């Protein structure tokens, strides 16, 4: 009976070490962009002209304060519900991989500009759900089904996001949600595969050759 409270306290400490820091960094980025001190958005034209860093940084700029607030709450909630994400800096690795991979994948679309954390949030939700061993398989299946159903609905009926677009003051980048979800699933499957190789005593390089 004493294990659960200790686990909850440890998770709370880990959460409090991560979330306020990330929100503060995003706050400083938002203040700077809203004050026209800098622009780190994902812009296709600028990326093609050599500003490749925008592939990563565009995720951390937002359209406005409503957009910023919605994404910060989403990040905090996901890391609270999925404790495995705050262990061993998994959230940081996932955000870094997600920013680069989603930002690069968006170049395959016809999007000219993009900002926001939502693609990474979808990645964290799918990745965290799959790697968290404390979540029953039925709950995992339900969560992933809901996420993937939402992604599919957005692809076929993007107009359903009209209320969200009115709130954030811009279009919802549904392709970022799509890429984030599948990249998150791919990361989780790759991690589980490497874990199985290690458990069998095989070096990862040998198993992947």
Domain count for the chain, please give it: 1
pTM listed for this prediction? 0.87
Q: What is the pLDDT of residues 169-189, one digit of tens each?
A: 888 889 999 999 999 999 999
Tokens of 77: 């909630």
Q: What is the pLDDT of residues 140-172, one digit of tens each?
A: 999 999 999 999 999 998 887 788 888 888 888
Q: What is the pLDDT of residues 53-102, one digit of tens each?
A: 999 999 999 999 999 999 999 999 999 999 999 988 899 999 999 999 99
Residue 51 belongs to domain with CATH number: 1.20.1540.10
- Domain with 198, as residue range(s), is 3-208
More confident residue, 3 or 100: 100
């Amino acid at each position: 009976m004493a294990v659960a409270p200790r686990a909850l306290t440890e998770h709370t400490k880990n959460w409090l070490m991560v979330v306020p820091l990330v929100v503060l960094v995003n706050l400083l980025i938002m203040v700077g962009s809203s004050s026209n001190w800098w622009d780190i958005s994902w812009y296709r034209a600028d990326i093609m002209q050599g500003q490749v860093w925008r592939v990563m940084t565009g995720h951390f700029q937002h359209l406005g304060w409503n957009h910023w607030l919605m994404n910060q709450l989403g990040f905090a909630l996901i890391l609270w519900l999925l404790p495995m994400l705050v262990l061993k800096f998994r959230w940081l690795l996932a955000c870094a991989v997600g920013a680069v991979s989603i930002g690069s994948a968006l170049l395959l679309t016809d999007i000219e500009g993009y900002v926001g954390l939502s693609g990474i949030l979808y990645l964290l939700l799918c990745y965290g759900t799959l790697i968290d061993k404390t979540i029953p398989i039925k709950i995992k299946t339900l969560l992933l089904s809901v996420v993937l159903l939402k992604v599919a609905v957005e692809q076929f009926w993007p107009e359903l996001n009209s209320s969200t677009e009115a709130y954030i003051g811009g279009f919802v980048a549904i392709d970022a949600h799509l890429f984030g979800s599948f990249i998150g699933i791919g990361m989780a499957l790759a991690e589980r595969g490497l874990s199985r190789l290690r458990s069998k005593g095989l070096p990862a390089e040998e198993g992947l050759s």
